[in-house]
Structure 1
Amino acid sequence: MAPSDEGITKLHKVRKTVMQMLNDRGYLVTDDEINMTKQQFIEHYGDNMSRDDLFLFKNKRNDTSDQIMVFFVIPETSKQAIGIGPLRKCFERMEAEKVYRAILVVEQRLTPSAKKVCEITNIRMEVFQDSELLYNVTEHDLVPEHQVLTDGEKKAVLEKYGVKETQLPRMLVTDPIARHYGLQRGQAVKIIRPSENAGRYVTYRYVT
Structure 2
Amino acid sequence: MDAATKLFFIRKTLIQMLLDREYLVDATKKEEQLEDFKSRYDGESREVLTLLQRKKSDPSDQIYVFFPDEEKVGVKSLRTYVTKMKESQVSRAIVVVRQGMSPFAKQALAEIQPKYKFEQFTETELLVNITEHQLVPEHVRLTKPEKKALLERYKLKESQLPRMQSSDPVARYYGLERGEVVKITRPSETAGRYVTYRLVS
Shorter-normalised TM-score: what interval? Answer: over 0.9
Residue identity in the other structure for 2:132: E
- Is 2:175 the partner of 1:182? yes
Matched with 1:87 is 78
The offset of 1:74, in angstroms, is 1.7
> Does the 8 Å CA contact 2:151/2:158 hold for their aligned counterparts?
yes
1:6 is aligned to 2
Q: In the alignment, which of 105, 119, 125 is matched to residue 114 of structure 1?
A: 105
Q: Aligned match of 1:172 in 160, 165, 168?
A: 165
Stretches of structure 1 lacking an aligned partner (at least 5 in a row):
none
For residues 119-174 of structure 1, what are the alpha-carbon distances to aligned partners after superposition, in whole Å with 9 as ceiling and x for unaligned? 32211111111111001110111000000000110111111111111111100000
Please point out which of 145, 154, 157 is paired with 1:152: 145
SS at match of 1:85: helix
SS state at 1:64 partner: coil
Which SS does the other structure have where 1:122 is aligned? coil
1:36 alignment partner in structure 2? 32
CA RMSD, Structure 1 to Structure 2 (Å)? 1.3
Partner of 1:25: 21
Long gaps (5+) in structure 2: none
Output the TM-score relative to the length of structure 2: 0.94
Match of 1:73, SS state, is: coil
The C-alpha deviation readout for 1:55-84, integer Å capped at 9, x for no partner, is: 001010121111111110122xxx4x2211
Pair 1:110–1:48, CA change in 2 (3 A): closer
**4+ residue stretches of structure 1 with deviation over 4 A?**
none
Over the matched positions of the two proteins, sequence identity in percent amounts to 50
CA contact (8 A) 2:4 2:41 kept: no
Q: Which residue matches 2:88? A: 97
Q: Report the number of matched residues.
A: 199
Q: 1:58 aligns with which of 37, 44, 53?
A: 53
2:19 partner letter: N
Q: 2:178 is paired with a residue of what secondary structure? A: coil
**1:109 alignment partner, SS class:** coil
Q: Partners of 2:44 and 2:22 in 1: how far apart?
A: 28
